[in-house]
Structure 1
Amino acid sequence: MNNQKFFSCCTSKYRQNGLALMISLILLVVMSLAGIALVRSVDTGVLAAGNLAFRQGATQAGQQGIEMARQWLTDNVALLNNDNPDQGYYANSQNFLDLTGNRTTTTADNVNWDGSGGASTPNCLAGDAQGYTVCYIIHRLCDTSGVALDSGTCTTKDGARGGSSLGAGRQMGTYQEGSWTDTTTFGYYRITIRTEGPRNTVGFLQAFVII
C-alpha cells in the first residue's frame, strides 16, 4: 500500500516536471522568434536610413552639377547656337531622347551616361571624396541647332525694354518720339543631371535656366 502511494506521488512529480520543461521549450522558441524579428526590424531600419542618406548625398552632388552646368552656359553665351558634345551641350531639345533609359526598350535613344552607348554624350565631372560622380547634359529648347534665339524656332523670353519718351512737349500737343533700346532675348536651357554613388545609388535631377 505504501509502495503504491510512493509510485503515484513520483509519477505526478515527473508529469509536472515534464510539463514545465515543455512550457519552457515553447517559451524559448517564442523568445527566439521574437529576437529574430527584432534583429530583422533593426537591420531593415538601418538599411532604409542608409539608403536615404545615400539618396540625399546624390541629390546634393547633383545640385552642385546643376550649378556647374549653369556656370558653363554663362561663360559660353557666344557659343550656344551650335552643339558642343564634348561639353555635353546640344543646341536643340532632342525630344526623342530617353533621358533616364526607362521610357523605351531600345538603348539607341539613351544618353550615354555610363559609357555603354547612346545617342548623345554627357559631360562627366571628376568624382568627389564621398564617391559620387556627376554627369550632365544641356539642351537648348530650340527645334534645330545652328540658329539664333530670335529665329522663331526657340523657346525664349524677352527682357525688359528700356528707353524714354519726350511726350507732348511741342505746341498743339504734338507727340515727340523718344529713344528706345532693343529688347534682349533670353533662351531656355534644360539641364539634366545623373549622379552615381556608393551602393549603386543612382539619382536624376533636372532644372531649367534662362540665359
Structure 2
Amino acid sequence: MKLPSPLPRPRERGVVLLFCLIILVVLLAGGVAVVRSMNASLFSAGNLAFKRDLVNRGEQAAQKVLTEFRTGGLAGATADIDSNQALNYSAKTLPTNARGIPQALLSTEAYGAVATTKIENAVDKVTIWYVIDRLCSDVGAAAALGPKGCVYAPLNTQVTGGSSQRAREDLPPPATLIYRLSVRVDGPRDTQVFLQSSFTKPQT
C-alpha cells in the first residue's frame, strides 16, 4: 500500500520571534521607568526627612534664647536696651530681604557683623545660625520710643475704638514688647531651612 506523501512544511518567517523581542523591549523600558520613578520618590522622601530633622534641630535655638531671656544675659529689666553681639541680640529691627529673612542670616560675613554665637554638631554636620531682634526702630528704652517706635503685643483688655491711628498714638503702650527669633539651619546634602517666630519676654 502506498502511503500519501507528506505535505511540504511552510517556511518559517520568524514573525513570532519578532513580536516577542518587541514585547521584551517594551517590558524592559517599563521596568527602567519604574526603577527611575522609585529612585525619584526615595530621593524626595529623603529630602523631606532631612528638612523635618532640621526643623526639629532648630528648636535648640529657641530653647537657648528663652533661657537667655529667663535667667541669662537678657533677663534683666534693662538688658534689652542695647544690642549684644555675644548673645546674637539686636535692640532694633534688623534689615530683611523681600521674604522677611534678616540679611544677617544670608551670608557668613553679614552674620559675623551682628552675631557671634552658633550651635554646631560636627558629627551630624548640622549648624544652627540664629539672631534675635527687638521690633523697635532704634536702640534705647522702649518707654522712650513709645508705641510709634516699638511693636507691642496687644492686651486682652485693650479697647481701641474709633480711629486705629488715634488709638495707637493716644493709648499707653502695653508692657510686653515683641521680639523676633530668626533661625537658619544648615545640614547634610546642602540642605537649608529657615525658621522664624515672634515672642514676648517670658515671665521669670
| TM-score calculated relative to the size of structure 2 | 0.73
Between stretches 183-192 and 65-74, larger displacement belongs to 183-192
RMSD: 3.1
CA displacement at 1:19 relative to structure 2? 0.3
Give the corresponding residue for 2:199: 209
Q: Deviations over 1:121-145 (max 9, x none)?
A: 3431122643321111000011101
CA distance in 2, matches of 1:140, 1:92: 5
CA displacement at 1:157 relative to structure 2? 4.5
Amino acid in the other structure paired with 1:42: M
Conservation of the 8 A alpha-carbon contact between 1:70 and 1:209: no
CA distance in 1, matches of 2:38, 2:69: 47
Determine if the alignment matches structure 1 residue 83 to structure 2 residue 83: yes
Conservation of the 8 A alpha-carbon contact between 1:90 and 1:139: yes
Conservation of the 8 A alpha-carbon contact between 1:126 and 1:134: yes
Amino acid in the other structure paired with 2:89: Y
Alignment length, in residue pairs? 174
Pairing 1:1-211 to 2, within 5 Å after superposition? 6=8, 9-11=9-11, 14-15=12-13, 18-74=14-70, 75=72, 76-78=74-76, 79-94=79-94, 96-98=95-97, 110-117=103-110, 120-122=113-115, 123-127=117-121, 129-145=123-139, 147-151=140-144, 152=146, 153-157=149-153, 185-211=175-201
Tell me: CA distance 1:112–1:45, structure 2 relative to 1, closer, same or farther (3 Å): closer
Deviating 4+ runs (over 6 angstroms): none
Conservation of the 8 A alpha-carbon contact between 1:110 and 1:120: no
Give the corresponding residue for 1:175: none
Conservation of the 8 A alpha-carbon contact between 1:125 and 1:135: yes
Tell me: CA distance 1:116–1:39, structure 2 relative to 1, closer, same or farther (3 Å): farther
| TM-score calculated relative to the size of structure 1 | 0.71
For the pair shown, the structure with the greater C-alpha radius of gyration is: 1
Tell me: CA distance 1:28–1:38, structure 2 relative to 1, closer, same or farther (3 Å): same
Structure 1 gap ranges (5+): 104-108, 161-182
CA displacement at 1:154 relative to structure 2? 1.9
SS state at 2:96 partner? coil
